[in-house]
Each structure stands twice: as C-alpha cells, then as structure tokens.
Amino acid sequence: MWHRRGLVLLLYLFGLVLAVLVGGAVSRLLSVEIGPTGFSERLTERFDIVLWADFWDGLAAGFAAVARQAVLAGVIMMIWKVASSVGLIHALQGDSRLSFWEGVSRFTLRGISLGLLYLLPLLALLAVVVIAFEAAASDMGEVGAFWTRFVVMPLAVIVLAATVDLFHDYARMHLVLRQTKIRRAWLEGIKWPFRHFRSVFLYKIWFWISALLWIAVLLVGFYMPDQTLGAVMAAFVIQQGLIIARSGAYVSWIGAEVAFFERYAPSVPEPEAAEMELMVSDDQVFAAAGGNAEVQ
C-alpha cells in the first residue's frame, strides 16, 4: 500500500472531490437559508426537528437539486470504480510498474460492459431475494419476521452482492491480464472461486477490513460530540483518515487478488494451465498473496 500511495491518494481524492462538489452545494444552501436568521448556532448545538421543519420549506427545492447531483455523482463514482479497478489491475500486475492510466484508457469501456453484465443480474437477484424474504416474513410470527427482515435478509443481500463482487474481481482480471473477451471473462469470473476456493478466504479478509473501516467511519460520526465546530472538524479529520485507510485497503485488496490470480490463472491454453495448477500448492500462493510479497 505504501509503495502505491499515489494510487491510494488518487482513489481517495476522487471520491472526496466528488463529495465536496455535492456537499459544497449543501453548505451553500444552508448558508443562504439559515445564515441570515441567526439560528445557525442553535442548529449547530443540537438537532432541533421543529426548526429544521420550519426551514425545510425554503430548503426543499435546493435539496431536491442536491439529490439529483448526488445521483449523478453516484453514477460517475460507479464508472470511476470500474475505471480505477481495471487501472489498478493493470498497474499491479507482475513485478513491472505498469501505468494505472494506461489500464484505465485501455480497459474502462470493456470493464463497464463487463460490469453491466454483472450488475443487471445482481439487481434482479437482489430484488428476488428481497421479495422472497419479505413474502416469507409476512407469514412468520413477529420474531421470525424481525430476524428475517433485519438480520437474515440484509446478510443474504450482503453475501449475494459480495459473491458477485468476487466473481467480478476475477472476471476483470481475465479481461485485463489475459485480454479475455467480455463474455468469456464473465464466465471465467464465475468459475474462479469454484476452481480456487482459497480466493474466497482472501476476499473475506479484505472485505472485512474494508467493512470495518466503513463502519468505523459511521461510528465516529455517531459518537463523537458534534455540538461545536471544533468537534465536528476533529471528527471529520478522523473520518477522512479512516477513508484514506479504506482506499489503501482497497489497493492492497486488488493487489492481493492480482497476485493470487497471476499464480493460478492460465496464461497458456487451458489444458496446459491445468497442469501448471498441479505444480503450485494453494498454501504457497495464499501465503504469498496475504503476505503482500507480490504487491508493489
């Protein structure tokens, strides 16, 4: 991660700039609507729901515009996610220091196509899961419905999304590192965890690191005092530190998966690749990938 701090910073800054552009609009909106009234201090000190509701008449239209910007920013962020992923895979492969931007320019369009091939079925599957669990919950007692709605269903959604994400990671590697065609890469991505079960453990490790960092950001927001601007700023700085760490974790995550892929993926026709697999043990590769030895 440290050796690729430029990439870490880039990933972090892209998200930050996008958030600042939208968040800045919120700031301006609040400044215009609330600033001249003198209620700014009151609303900084505590959440006064009545006063916020009174201001809402003036804020609603502005917030609607911000919401539209946020959706647009979300789409840009998703495209950036694809671009940065293929860029990272390209840059982190082998021992050579290949260009991140070259990867972005060469593989982003195909990466998006591949992404859509995963995204659309994923959305459909998520809808099916939610509908199925909701239907099941409605026939259960209160306790069953509670656990179904608030524990089992969210877990199922997360597991499903993570599984598809895992497929997707290795499909992208086929696309970038083996120049596989999109449909073929899609299929290889799905096959990968079944052929190389250790990749699931590798995914889990980085998934939990990222998830814990994500949760930590939330917890800081909840539990750090925010009645004064100083406290809010302190919380913001800590949160940004955690988000930078999350970007670092992401770079390392991809790096580890690339290393894993390079050890296992056939770089030659399939029959020969199968022979190669017999020559390298899973444990050796996992240790190497987890130990970050190949990630530069």
Partner 1 sequence: MVKRTSYIGLAVSFVIFSLQQVFSQVRPTIYDEPLSDRQVSYAISAELDAQARTVTGTQRITWRNPDRVPVDELQFHLYLNAFSGPNTTFMRESGGVHRGFTSDDQERWGGIEVTRMRIIDDATLPHGDFSSIPLSSPGEPGVDITGAMEFIRPDDGNENDFTVMRVQLPEPVQPGETVALNVEFLSRLPEIVARTGWKEKPDGSTFFFVGQWFPKLGVYEAPGRRYVPADAERGSWNTHQFHENSEFYSDFGTYRVSMTVPEDFKVGATGVAVSETVSDGRKTTIHEAADVHDFAWTASAEFLEFADSWKHVSIKLLIQPEHEGQAERHFAAAKVALEYFAEWYGEYPYTTLTLVDGVGGSNGMEYPTLITCGTTYGLPEWFRVLEIVTIHEFGHQYWYGLLASNEFEEAWLDEGINSYTEAKIMDAAYGEGAVLDIPGWTVSDSELQRLMYTKNAPTRDRLFLNSWEYSSSSSYAMNSYAKPATVLTMLENHVGLDTMRAILRTYYDRWRFRHPTTRDFIAVADEVANQDLSWFFDQFVYGSVAVDYRVAGFTNNIVSPDSAETREYNSRVVLERAEEGVVPVELAVRFDDGRLEMIEWDGRDRWQTYHFSGPAKVTEVFIDPDNKVTMDINRANNRKTLEPESGVERKYGLKFIVWLQQLFQLFSALI
Long-range Cβ pairs for the range 214-221 (8 Å, 24+): 214/246, 216/242, 217/242, 217/243, 217/246
Asked if 121 touches partner 1 (CB under 8 A), the answer is: no
Q: Does 152 bind partner 1 (CB under 8 A)?
A: no
Q: Which of 1, 119, 182, 187 is in the footprint of partner 1 by CB under 8 A?
A: 119
1, 9, 39, 187: residue in contact with partner 1 (rule CB under 8 A): 39
CB of 281 to partner 1, least distance (A): 31
Shortest approach of partner 1 to residue 207 CB, angstroms?
10
Residue 102 interacts with partner 1 (CB under 8 A): yes or no? no
For residues 282 and 291, what is the distance between their CA atoms, to the nearest angstrom?
Answer: 14
Q: What is the DSSP letter of 37?
A: G
Give the amino acid at 272: E
- State residue 292 phi and psi, 5-degree precision: 65, 20
Specify the residue for token string 């050579």.
Answer: 96
Q: Is 275 in the site for partner 1 (CB under 8 A)?
A: no
Surface-to-core class of residue 88, CB atoms within 10 Å of its CB (0-12 exposed, 13-18 middle, 19+ buried): buried
Taking the complex as a whole, the smallest distance from the CB of residue 268 to partner 1 amounts, in Å, to: 31
List 100, 118, 192, 203, residue binding partner 1 (CB under 8 A): 118
Please identify which residue in 86, 90, 107, 115 interacts with partner 1, judged by CB under 8 A: 115
Q: Nearest distance from residue 123's CB to partner 1, in Å?
A: 8
Which residue lies nearer to partner 1 by CB, 230 or 271?
230
d(CA 26, CA 165): 32
Nearer to partner 1, 122 or 295 (CB): 122
Number of residues that bind partner 1 (CB under 8 A): 75
Q: Does 55 participate in binding partner 1 (rule CB under 8 A)? A: yes
Task: Tell the residue number behind the tokens 């539209």, with chain if given.
Answer: 68
What is the per-residue burial (b if ≥16 Cβ within 10 Å, else e) of 28-60? Answer: ebbeebbeeeebeeeeeeeeeeeeeeebeeebe
Segment near partner 1 (CB under 8 A), from 102-110, 194-202, 213-221, 286-294? 213-221
Per CB under 8 A, the segment of 47-55, 99-107, 262-270, 281-289 that binds partner 1 is: 47-55
Task: Give yes or no for a contact between 273 and 266, defined as CB atoms under 8 angstroms apart.
Answer: yes
- Does 140 interact with partner 1 (rule: CB under 8 A)? yes
Q: Considering only residues 37, 99, 179, 281, which one is a binding residue for partner 1 as defined by CB under 8 A?
A: 37
Please report the sign of the dihedral spanned by the C-alpha atoms of residue 12, residue 18, residue 19, residue 21.
positive
Q: Which of 5, 6, 13, 27 binds partner 1 (CB under 8 A)?
A: 27
Please identify, using beta-carbon distances, which residue of 111 and 288 lies nearer to partner 1.
111
**Considering the complex, what minimum distance in angstroms separates the CB of residue 37 from partner 1?**
5
Is there binding between residue 41 and partner 1 (CB under 8 A)? yes
Contact between 26 and partner 1 by CB under 8 A: the answer reads yes
Tell me if 199 sits within 8 A of 225, measured CB to CB.
no
CA dist., res. 296 & res. 291, Å (int):
12
Q: Does 43 bind partner 1 (CB under 8 A)?
A: yes
Which residues make Cβ contacts (< 8 Å) with residue 171, sequence separation at least 6?
A: 114, 118, 185, 186, 188, 189, 190, 192
